[in-house]
């Protein structure tokens, strides 16, 4: 029986490194087979997941040997942390390993949506020449508003500053005297919404942040503003966002995360035909390079924890 179960995709080199020291079950399809996952975990000491595997109190209830969970990423809303703590199961996020990937995604999405020149190749190939229609804007001189100003948001800020952006942020949990504020103007949420040209979300999904960007928040934003969400889908009220985009009350949006994941045809129907909208399948933090880093960090965390059990 496996000592380590991996229920979602992981870099093969990291999987091989785990396999050298432990019996493992690596099956990225386990995430969609809850009964098989539960059976596989009966004797496992470690479980490695991404964001889709739900580690619930019910899943953990009958597990007596599980000692740690390695998270291939940083968000922990798919893991019942209280249930893990109650069973003395240590949870290891891959903190920092995919920060660069997310930061590059945010800046790229902002540039793409502001310029508006990259989605009409078929028109050009067909002999149309819509130069005036495709005349977009520049990011230089724009204000980037960051909701949440942790490690990833700061990397976004550094990259955006190199393009000539002014940086503002809202983060009630970051003390006013923190050195991070030297590179960003500290604003309350309403002031940030009203004044920003691009708004990027960097907060976890909690009861406080659920639908933080709803109809009222969207109305407070500039009609030309761009919204980018690489955090968690529930932070944005998708219905309110779609309504604003269809009505021309918002300049554009990029969504990498959704209220329901994976997004199925029924849930995705609301986005059909919405203008200036980029949709991606929760891959902002998943590049080839980030996958290697995240997998390596997670393998190290799990191997070190299992080694400590035998000391």
Contacts for 119-123 with beta carbons within 8 Å, 24 or more apart?
none
Query: Catalytic pick from 50, 143, 159, 282?
Result: 282
The 3 state secondary structure assigned to 269-287 is HHHCCCCCEEECCCCCCCC
Rounded Cα gap, residues 258 and 52, in angstroms: 12
CB 92 within 8 A of CB 68: yes
Give 119's contacts (C-beta < 8 A, 6+ positions apart).
Answer: none
Q: Burial level of 230, CB count in 10 A (0-12/13-18/19+)?
A: buried
Burial of 124 (0-12, 13-18, 19+ CB in 10 A): exposed
**SS3 of residue 298 by DSSP:** helix
Query: Rounded distance, CA 99 to CA 112, Å?
Result: 20
Point out the catalytic residue in the list 143, 202, 232, 293: 232
Which entry of 166, 261, 270, 305 is annotated as an active-site residue? 261
Q: How far apart are CA 72 and CA 195, in angstroms?
A: 35
Report the distance separating Cα 89 and Cα 105, nearest Å: 33
143 as an active site residue: the answer is no
Active site residue 282: yes
Q: Beta strand 4-6 with 226-229: parallel, antiparallel or unpaired? A: unpaired
Catalytic residues: 232, 261, 282
């Amino acid at each position: 029986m496996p000592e380590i179960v991996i229920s979602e995709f992981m870099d093969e080199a990291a999987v091989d490194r785990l396999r050298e020291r432990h019996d493992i079950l690596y099956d990225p399809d386990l995430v969609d087979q809850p009964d098989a996952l539960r059976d596989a975990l009966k004797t496992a000491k470690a479980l490695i997941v991404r964001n889709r595997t739900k580690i619930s109190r019910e899943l953990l209830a009958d597990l007596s040997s599980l000692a740690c969970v390695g998270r291939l990423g940083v968000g922990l809303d798919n893991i019942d942390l209280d249930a893990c703590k109650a069973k003395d199961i240590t949870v290891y996020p891959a903190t920092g390993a995919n920060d660069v990937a997310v930061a590059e995604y945010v800046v790229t999405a902002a540039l793409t949506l502001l310029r508006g020149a990259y989605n009409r190749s078929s028109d050009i190939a067909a002999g149309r020449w819509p130069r005036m229609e495709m005349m977009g804007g520049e990011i230089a001189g724009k204000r980037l508003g960051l909701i949440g100003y942790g490690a990833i948001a700061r990397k976004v800020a550094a990259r955006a500053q190199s393009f000539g952006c002014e940086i503002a942020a809202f983060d009630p949990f970051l003390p006013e005297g923190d050195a991070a504020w030297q590179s960003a103007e500290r604003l309350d949420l309403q002031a940030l919404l009203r004044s920003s040209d691009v708004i990027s979300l960097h907060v976890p999904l909690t009861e406080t942040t659920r639908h933080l960007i709803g109809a009222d928040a969207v109305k407070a934003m500039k009609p030309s503003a761009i919204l980018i969400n690489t955090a968690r889908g529930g932070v944005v009220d998708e219905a309110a966002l779609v309504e604003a985009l269809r009505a021309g009350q918002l300049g554009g949006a990029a969504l990498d995360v959704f209220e329901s994941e994976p997004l199925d045809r029924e849930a995705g129907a609301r986005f059909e035909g919405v203008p200036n909208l980029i949709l991606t399948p929760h891959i902002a933090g998943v590049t080839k390079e980030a996958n290697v880093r995240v997998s390596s960090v997670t393998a190290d965390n799990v191997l070190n924890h299992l080694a400590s059990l035998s000391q």
